[in-house]
Structure 1
Amino acid sequence: MPARAAALAHADDLADFVAVSPSSYHAAHEVARRLQDAGFTRLDETASWPAQAGGRFVVVRDGAVIAWAVPTDAAGTTPVHVLGAHTDSPGFKLKPKPTTGSHGWLQAAVEVYGGPLLNSWLDRELRLAGRLALSDGRVVLAATGPLLRLPQLAIHLDRGVNDGLALDKQTGTQPVWGLGDAASADLLAELASAAGVDAADIRGFDAVVADAARGAVFGKDDAFFAAGRLDDLASVHAGVVALIEAADAPAPVIPMLAAFDHEELGSASRSGAAGPFLEDVLARVYASLGADAADQRRAFAASWHLSSDVGHSVHPNFAHRHDPVVQPLLGSGPILKINANQRYATDAVGAAAWAAWCEGAGVPSQEFVSNNTVPCGSTIGPITATRLGIRTVDVGIPILSMHSARELAGVSDLYDLSRVARTFFAG
């Protein structure tokens, strides 16, 4: 397939992936579904794990999933190549008593999750999605269609709004979802109905708000792709596509995808990169290969971790916010993320390795570094490097509107990231 057609097909598949992944739990479920359809075996943490070659995955900790493919000749010292990403995105999460309202409106009581661009959530159709813990011990996924909206105050009632709109996180971010008396309504019933369960059986829930619109390709020469949750479903999707392609090919390494939850909150959870999930999985994989502690450390010393997350493209209206020289652009390839203070884990050796993987994939690359006056964010890269000691490189794709309800990427960059991931998994 020609590269342009392949890139458009990749973007269309990503649109499907985002549409069925409105929450981290749904994203992990969709990764698992795709892997299972490709012949991977689902493992249970409470059972023993097989040693023979083949694709494996484990979805056990909230919205996190780890998958890998053991080569036929793998040994206790075979290195692992991990592509790390995250399944959560900034936005809003339902509070414990989510049904509220006033003046004849039904509203949803939400709490800010992470650091979203609050204004970007105004005046668009939104949906609810997450998991429901039931009285019989089951945990089910639920996702509504378009249900909510966060309406902006008309300019006639706030003549100074264009001089700067600042939403109060408590009073200005509660979306409407119907008309009536909150005392006789139940927002959880909407989620229960979507899941096909009785609302009376719900004993706990984790539910977030997500953009209801499907991802779209647009712009001159179909250069752009816009969707919600590209941070970081773009990397999760690229990773699962590449891992499925790599699973049946002989390789001198164990290719692995680690998609964590809670990155937007700092990763400090049982399903986040700062938790033990990846370390636990690696320990069990190497134990199944007969490795002792020394063998595993030898393997780690030859291993690599690609921490893949989005970075900032230069913004044509705010170029002064970027470094004056290093200015990555949509459509010019994936990015290598660099920071002198180790907010990204990239170093010279990692940069050289990244260049080799990009060259092997026939993909262009560009660097990202922050303007010295603009504080730099961080990723799972330094966390994983610190926890495991595996050499780590921070990479990703450039986007605009990061942390918006709907972000903007380059169609070719999305496809190119998956191509580099495939080369990385090949060892």
Structure 2
Amino acid sequence: MKKDIKELLNFIKEAPTPYHTVMASAKRLLKAGFTELKLSEVWQLQPGGRYFVKAFDSTLLAFALGTESGPLRIAAAHTDFPCFRLKPQPEITREGYGVLNVEKYGGMMLRTWLDRPLALAGKVALRSADPFVPQVKLVDFARPLFTIPSLAIHMDREVNDEGKLNAQKDMLPLAAVGGEELTADFFHAWLAEQLHVEPADILSYELSAYPYEEGSLCGLNEELVSSPRLDNLTSVLACLQGIMAVDMAKMTGLRMAVLFDNEEVGSQTKQGAGSAVLLQVLERIYLALGKSREEMLAAIAAGFMLSVDVAHALHPNFMDKCDPSHKPVLGGGVVLKQAASQSYAGDTEAVAIVRGVCEACDIPWQHFVNRSDSRGGSTLGSIASALVPLRTMDIGLPLLAMHSARELMHGNDQRALVKLIKQVLA
């Protein structure tokens, strides 16, 4: 396995939730020489410095400061992905079976989650002396804990014709079988035991079930990569590699890698692309460097941002789902995503900029546009650039099985994506 793909799969393994994505990102930034800041503290910044700051543990903004004035360039991605989140009181007991009440996070392909071993990870808040500062633990129970078993075909003869699943009825994970010994609070009791605390000391949690399986190569020539969470950890790692590769001896101005949470549910949260967090961090950077707010606004107006998220590849079994003249394929390079509706960010100049960089640096690229009779998807670019109005282009690598529990990409597309982001942030 090539070194860069191995690094990607290791990163995905470390990142089963947005909290773990930020933790894995911070670890790499610290190793590369970045200094961590706190949103709740006053910043002392130095030209030539490299810094990062977390927002509510699931969003991260990393930046590099040139020693001279220059352009503002940003690469942004999102840290979250579709999954099942446990509800606050998840235990349901049925004839000695213990199942967990969960809800969907994001647009999931439900059938792909059936019959897979599922692990559990996230954040738990425990009682402390100060109610305003609970003790918080990041957890990853990295082993198979539950599964969502299918109904046998003998009991559902039309499953291959119909196959519709109800998220509340059909998708509850089986977690325990205990007969009369299974208590009504079986999950909370188990969680307290794992954390070595009393059940009453668990005040709240955000815990997600995730497929307990590692990514792998496939294809006759091992050119393909199959893994959970390719959407959008491919983009997260590419943005990190881009900001860490900035040549501080040559760079002028400000470069940023911004990793937002909650894109899969609309971005309208305190740590999402629809929040004030990017604008506030920009303002704090410019003020700490002795710049005026007017200078910051001028830099934004002249700046450029890549919104980096995966794109739909042409599916060999569903050719008619693609636009007839825009057919991005696996292995074809970076995808420039456009939509007249502006569900993807971009304008004439933004397309020209990215295409120009790609062609100057021999980076393969291709176009994606939705079929005119299909609504398609969206991402964070239009949302973030409406709040921080700088020219923005939506790009990503082509993907099959997007939002499945396991997705498929081509290794060469990740290499093209990383190369492009490094050039834009150079």
Match of 1:32 in 2: 26
CA positional deviation for 1:215: 1.0
- Provide structure 1 residue ranges, at least 5 long, that are not aligned to the other structure: none
CA positional deviation for 1:328: 0.3
The one-letter amino acid paired with 1:141 is L
The one-letter amino acid paired with 1:166 is K
Moved over 3 A (4+): 188-200
Deviations along 1:183-213, whole A, 9 cap, x unmatched? 2553245555665655442211111111110
Match of 1:397 in 2: 397
Match of 1:141 in 2: 138
3-state DSSP of counterpart to 1:205 = strand
The one-letter amino acid paired with 2:259 is A
Cα distance in 1, alignment partners of residues 197 and 358 from structure 2: 48
Match of 1:174 in 2: 172
Deviations along 1:208-245, whole A, 9 cap, x unmatched? 11111011111122111111111111100111122112
The one-letter amino acid paired with 1:49 is W
Match of 1:20 in 2: 14
> Where do 1:315-354 residues align within 5 Å?
315-354=315-354
Residues paired across the two proteins, number: 417
Distance 1:197 1:281, change over 3 A: farther
Match of 2:381 in 1: 381
3-state DSSP of counterpart to 1:220 = coil
Cα distance in 2, alignment partners of residues 352 and 198 from structure 1: 59
Deviations along 1:276-307, whole A, 9 cap, x unmatched? 11111111011111111210111112211100
The one-letter amino acid paired with 2:164 is A
Cα distance in 1, alignment partners of residues 400 and 107 from structure 2: 15
Deviations along 1:345-374, whole A, 9 cap, x unmatched? 111101111012223443100000111111
Determine if the alignment matches structure 1 residue 357 to structure 2 residue 357.
yes
> Where do 1:308-319 residues align within 5 Å?
308-319=308-319
Distance 1:300 1:165, change over 3 A: same
Q: Give 1:92's match in structure 2, choosing from 84, 87, 112.
A: 84
Deviations along 1:388-414, whole A, 9 cap, x unmatched? 111100000110111111111111111
Q: Give 1:120's match in structure 2, choosing from 112, 116, 121.
A: 112
Q: Does structure 2 conserve the Cα–Cα contact (< 8 Å) formed by 1:81 and 1:425?
A: yes
3-state DSSP of counterpart to 2:55 = coil
TM-score, with structure 1 as normaliser: 0.94
Determine if the alignment matches structure 1 residue 105 to structure 2 residue 64.
no
CA positional deviation for 1:253: 3.5
Greater Cα offset, 233-242 or 101-110: 101-110
3-state DSSP of counterpart to 1:51 = coil
> Where do 1:51-66 residues align within 5 Å?
51-52=45-46, 53-66=48-61
Q: Does structure 2 conserve the Cα–Cα contact (< 8 Å) formed by 1:235 and 1:309?
A: yes
Cα distance in 2, alignment partners of residues 405 and 247 from structure 1: 37
Cα distance in 2, alignment partners of residues 188 and 34 from structure 1: 34
TM-score, with structure 2 as normaliser: 0.94
Cα distance in 2, alignment partners of residues 100 and 156 from structure 1: 26
Cα distance in 2, alignment partners of residues 40 and 49 from structure 1: 14
RMSD: 1.6
Cα distance in 1, alignment partners of residues 41 and 57 from structure 2: 18
Cα distance in 1, alignment partners of residues 161 and 252 from structure 2: 58
The one-letter amino acid paired with 1:425 is L
Cα distance in 1, alignment partners of residues 51 and 397 from structure 2: 27
Determine if the alignment matches structure 1 residue 71 to structure 2 residue 66.
yes
The one-letter amino acid paired with 1:179 is V
